Structures are given as C-alpha cells and as structure tokens.
C-alpha cells in the first residue's frame, strides 16, 4: 500500500470516528489533524457541520470541539519547538517528516512567517493549510508566552472551525464540496491569509504611531 492509499484510509477512518463517536471523536480527530496534517480539517469539520442538520451536532458544539482538539495538538508542536530547539527539529523533519507529508521547506516557511510577522501570525496561520500545524514550532522556539499562544490559537481555530462547519451545514449532503474548493483555491487561501496579516500589522503600526505622536504633542 502506497503513502497516498494510507492517507486515504486514515481520512476515511477519521470520518467514521466522527460519525460514530460524536464530539469525543471530533476532538480526537482535530488533535490528530494538528500533528498529522494529512488528516484535513477541510473534510472533517464540514462533515460535522452537515451532521448538525440531523441533530447529531450543533454548530457551537462543533466549534468548541474543533477548538479544544486543535489547541491540544498545537501544544504538542509548541512543546517540540521549546524542548528540542531548531537543530533537532530539523533533524526530525528530515528523518520522519515524509511520514507526516511535511518537509523541511514547510518548516522554513512557518519559521519565516513567524519571524517576519511576529506572534499575531499564530492567529492568522490557523486558517492556512500546513502552516497552521507547523507555526506552533517557531512559537515554541521563541518561547512565546504560553497564555498568548493559547489565546491566539483558540480564537483563530474557533473561527476556522465555525466557518468550515457552517459551510458543511449550508451544503448538507454536498458537504464534501468544501474540501474540493479549498484544495482548488489553496494558493488563494495562502495569499488571503498573508494579506490579512499585513493589514493587521499595518493598522497596529499606524495606531501606535498616532499614540506616540499624541503623547509627544501633550
């Protein structure tokens, strides 16, 4: 069995787990999705959202479960970065990254994003494929305040979880179209996420400049 078939089997298993176990299964799958990116939240969350039409979930419940699982998974990579350091993380990526469909180049991208845009990228990065998993490692390397890390992760993940679940809710039995659209427009998602970070940082910079100018005038 090739790697592609293994990933497909895992995704099918994850869908079955969510359908049969309900919220506990969703929390577990979202945890695994953060440490094993081939399990796509673009498939799991719309499925859960579609099941809300049958009364098996609620959109609020899916959002909370998705957030809890994702934050727990993000903490694993945060701890990995903090405890292992960049050199050993790179060694692990080279040796075992292929089994998670992750590469050292993916890690470099996450590291560059964190270094360029700072801690707020933890929020926006949760809505960008691949980056949403690996962005936790640079935060750990930088020993980012755990409270801020958890808050940014929770808010960003909650928004992502709700939007995907709501899309599945609206589409009903056609919920699988969400993952098709997301994969088709993955580059657009990356660009939108990057633009959102730039706009946010620009607004914050301008606001601080005005505050400094106002205090100087006073």
Tens digits of per-residue pLDDT, 76-102? 999 999 999 888 999 988 888 877 778
The C-alpha atoms of residue 66 and residue 36 are separated, in whole angstroms, by: 15
Residue 6, pLDDT score: 61
DSSP annotation of 55: T
Q: How many domains does the chain have?
A: 1
pLDDT in tens, 62-83: 999 999 999 999 999 999 999 9
Segment 149-171 shows an average pLDDT of 91
Q: Give the three-class secondary structure for 13.
A: helix
Token pair listed for 12: 């099918």
Task: Name the residue range of residue 166's domain.
Answer: 3-217
Segment 163-181 shows an average pLDDT of 83
Residue 101, pLDDT score: 74
Q: How many CB atoms lie within 10 A of CB 26?
A: 29
Confidence of residue 60 (pLDDT cuts 50, 70, 90): very high
Sign of CA dihedral 113, 138, 95, 7: negative
Token pair listed for 141: 């390397």
Which of these ranges, 51-55, 86-90, 188-192, has the smallest mean pLDDT?
188-192
Q: pLDDT at residue 197 above 90?
A: no
């Amino acid at each position: 069995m090739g790697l592609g078939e293994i990933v497909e089997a895992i995704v099918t298993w994850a869908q079955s787990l969510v359908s049969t176990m309900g919220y506990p299964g969703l929390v577990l799958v979202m945890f695994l999705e953060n440490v094993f990116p081939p399990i796509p939240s673009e498939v799991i969350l719309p499925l859960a959202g579609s099941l809300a039409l049958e009364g098996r979930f609620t959109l609020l419940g899916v959002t909370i479960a998705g957030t809890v699982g994702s934050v727990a998974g993000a903490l694993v990579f945060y701890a990995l970065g903090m405890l292992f350091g960049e050199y050993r993380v790179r060694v692990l990526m080279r040796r075992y990254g292929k089994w998670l469909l992750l590469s050292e180049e993916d890690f470099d991208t996450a590291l560059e994003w964190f270094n360029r845009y700072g801690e707020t990228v933890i929020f926006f990065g949760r809505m960008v494929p691949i980056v949403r998993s690996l962005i936790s490692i640079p935060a750990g390397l930088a020993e980012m305040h755990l409270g801020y890390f958890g808050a940014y992760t929770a808010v960003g993940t909650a928004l992502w979880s709700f939007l995907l679940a709501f899309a599945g809710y609206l589409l009903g039995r056609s919920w699988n179209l969400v993952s098709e659209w997301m994969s088709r427009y993955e580059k657009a998602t990356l660009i939108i996420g990057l633009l959102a970070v730039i706009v946010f940082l620009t607004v914050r910079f301008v606001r601080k400049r005005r505050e400094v100018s106002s205090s100087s005038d006073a």
